[in-house]
Structure 1
């Protein structure tokens, strides 16, 4: 389905000369096709006649154009090859990762040897290498081009007890992993040499990444602390935590850094987000307007906007320059992930409500709503042009949606 939906919100729009105009729309934010159906009287269709057999899937909507169905357990993580976007890697609760094609759904390689659920996968910046990690701390790396001939890993990395996330360096074959034991490990590939171990968090490192220029690492912790690291020395340049009353009082669940590597945006179970300057560690601003935990955040690469997504089912849009709330987008249930499009002010979101939605952040319009999953959408990957989304779900399936 590729429908344009009028989604209403309270938005602040910019006029042609850049002045801010407050525009208030007192309407339901839900997309029009998700609104309550009008009462059209009793259903007299054949399927509704008592005694007739009813197909429970008769009204099931599936907007996907392709799928991958080999996991048979929740699919926790997916990633798309940065160059050859037909290649996908996914990992799930079946203790396996798979390399497969998005156009045909063909399985290219089954990647085994894990001891627990595969919770993080990712291609390197060039796509030459791909990595996967499980909940027991096992990290394996493969040569993408050679894996179809042999699924033996290029490297099996020694590291922490339980890996919570992976992140590849934006300019080279360096892999970073955050763990439940409070440490991060960084390896050089393909040798598999450990370059640094980062210690400084007291609890699980829940989120982290290299900045876009690769010169800094930022990590968030279950104890509510944020640390800005020097990758070369493993030294902590700045640390923020609850001792500063202006900062988070609870677990940091997610973070993102902006395109010019000057700011980090954090989200927390305390229902708030913080904007922090990476060079000096100063708190630039606090963003609220959520009723429950913030689970996903992101900077727009093309505008001054950022977004925060919450368990309360809302995505709030913010102007980072003014720290002004620009509007709210709504799912029917908790928001699991958001990602801005690379070349436009659009963003894609997924939810416990089983849908994938594409929004225009300038207006609040829902441009597409894609259905097909039967359970929570846990992760997704996006093509460079933003027109194709590949999602992984609690229902054990990966689906491909295309505008």
Structure 2
């Protein structure tokens, strides 16, 4: 996420004391409420030209169709990140360019807590693997960590520059963050003890995560490099760079890791995706897009990969043969894709304001949901894949369910 392009700093006239508060008396908020909040915005044809949402840019028309079953509307500016609690799937955390993050309830849209305010946009939010903690990372270079059950802040982490992503170790309360200053940092929680800084990229780190076993860390950067790290020593285990002409010749935007941790898929602004093995082999290039590949995913149950592009294409690949199976399509940039757990179903979101679920075996679009008034930036899926939570440039989070 580029801080110049994707967020507006929320300037406070006075310093605001950090808070982590309950909000049991949240008033019902009208869907797409006006700035004054006194009356619902009229959604008929006569008012279409006057209605705008957040900072999502100009739109030729307002989408009148709304398939959402619930929503959260406390954010008044674009929402960048959303995550579902791993066990209590009725709890959602979201963060956005209003410098704020909230925990709220999926089924009612009720605000459970407002988390401590950042000094700049909240670029990443994530529940820990066991759900006991939640972290919010900001473009102010700070990470706030809270106890979910006690609703208390337990640590504020400093060190990196603007936070690009956060990720939790799959088997312990260890937090990883990637930053604009080309570094990655790691801490032990809830104490907040610093563990390692990872130095090896020469440009902002754009994506990264622990492997599924937790034995390694994988990160990608704007310099076109992909690095596999040893989290115990912060040493580089494997590195792929643009010096190898078979690899990316542009910034890496996204990555996915196979369930067995042996294969990594990366997307890049060079309009390709690359499939690599952790042993250092470059297995192949997936090149169906005409513009930047912004989203990638690997299926857990079949040897399939998905790549989503700024050109609106969503390509499904057979990774055994490296052949294109089918090309699916949104009407605008594909921003995020998620494979369903233990299923060949795939859900994607786009700047065209839609959520679409596909059967990757047939290429059939089995579901289309609409309701946002601006592009969708992030999504989270319940374990059964039947409910989707979205974060949008229109300043809203919506819930869609079968």
SS in 1 for 2:335: strand
Q: Which residue of 1 aligns with 2:327?
A: 328
Q: Which residue of 1 aligns with 2:46?
A: 54
Distance (whole Å) between structure 2 residues aligned to residue 297 and residue 369 of structure 1: 20
Q: Match for 2:102 among 79, 98, 102? A: 98
Q: Which residue of 2 aligns with 1:398?
A: 397
CA RMSD in angstroms, aligned pairs only: 1.3
Q: Which residue of 2 aligns with 1:87?
A: 91
CA contact (8 A) 2:215 2:230 kept: yes
TM-score, scaled relative to structure 1? 0.84
Give how far 1:240 is off: 1.2
Distance (whole Å) between structure 2 residues aligned to residue 188 and residue 126 of structure 1: 14
Structure 1 unmatched ranges of 5 or more: 1-51
C-alpha distance 87-53 of structure 1, shift in aligned 2 (>3 A): closer
TM-score, scaled relative to structure 2? 0.85
Distance (whole Å) between structure 1 residues aligned to residue 233 and residue 263 of structure 2: 21
Distance (whole Å) between structure 2 residues aligned to residue 303 and residue 240 of structure 1: 26
Q: Which residue of 2 aligns with 1:314?
A: 313
Q: Which residue of 1 aligns with 2:188?
A: 188
Distance (whole Å) between structure 1 residues aligned to residue 332 and residue 159 of structure 2: 36
CA contact (8 A) 1:343 1:385 kept: no
1:8-59 CA deviation, whole Å, 9 max, x = no partner?
Answer: xxxxxxxxxxxxxxxxxxxxxxxxxxxxxxxxxxxxxxxxxxxx98353897
C-alpha distance 245-369 of structure 1, shift in aligned 2 (>3 A): same
Q: Which residue of 1 aligns with 2:115?
A: 111
Q: Which residue of 1 aligns with 2:232?
A: 232
The reply to whether residue 145 of structure 1 matches residue 149 of structure 2 is: yes
Aligned residues: 347
Give how far 1:312 is off: 0.5
Q: Which residue of 2 aligns with 1:219?
A: 219
CA contact (8 A) 2:254 2:295 kept: yes
Larger radius of gyration: 1
C-alpha distance 59-189 of structure 1, shift in aligned 2 (>3 A): closer
Distance (whole Å) between structure 2 residues aligned to residue 313 and residue 53 of structure 1: 28
Give how far 1:324 is off: 1.1
1:140-173 CA deviation, whole Å, 9 max, x = no partner?
Answer: 10000111xxxx5111012201110011111111
Q: Which residue of 1 aligns with 2:288?
A: 289
C-alpha distance 310-59 of structure 1, shift in aligned 2 (>3 A): closer
Summarize the alignment of residues 226-375 of structure 1 with structure 2, pairs less than 5 Å apart: 226-278=226-278, 280-375=279-374
Distance (whole Å) between structure 1 residues aligned to residue 236 and residue 243 of structure 2: 17
Distance (whole Å) between structure 1 residues aligned to residue 147 and residue 306 of structure 2: 35
Give how far 1:343 is off: 2.1
CA contact (8 A) 2:101 2:117 kept: no
Distance (whole Å) between structure 1 residues aligned to residue 118 and residue 175 of structure 2: 18
Distance (whole Å) between structure 2 residues aligned to residue 201 and residue 333 of structure 1: 31
Q: Match for 2:124 among 120, 124, 138? A: 120
Distance (whole Å) between structure 2 residues aligned to residue 53 and residue 399 of structure 1: 23
Structure 2 unmatched ranges of 5 or more: 1-43, 52-61
CA contact (8 A) 1:95 1:112 kept: no
Distance (whole Å) between structure 2 residues aligned to residue 242 and residue 94 of structure 1: 36
1:190-245 CA deviation, whole Å, 9 max, x = no partner?
Answer: 11111111001111011111111111111111010111111111000111111111
CA contact (8 A) 2:63 2:373 kept: no
Distance (whole Å) between structure 2 residues aligned to residue 121 and residue 267 of structure 1: 22
Runs of 4+ in 1 over 3 A off after TM superposition: 52-59
Distance (whole Å) between structure 2 residues aligned to residue 174 and residue 322 of structure 1: 37
Give how far 1:322 is off: 1.1
Q: Which residue of 2 aligns with 1:10?
A: none
Q: Which residue of 1 aligns with 2:208?
A: 208
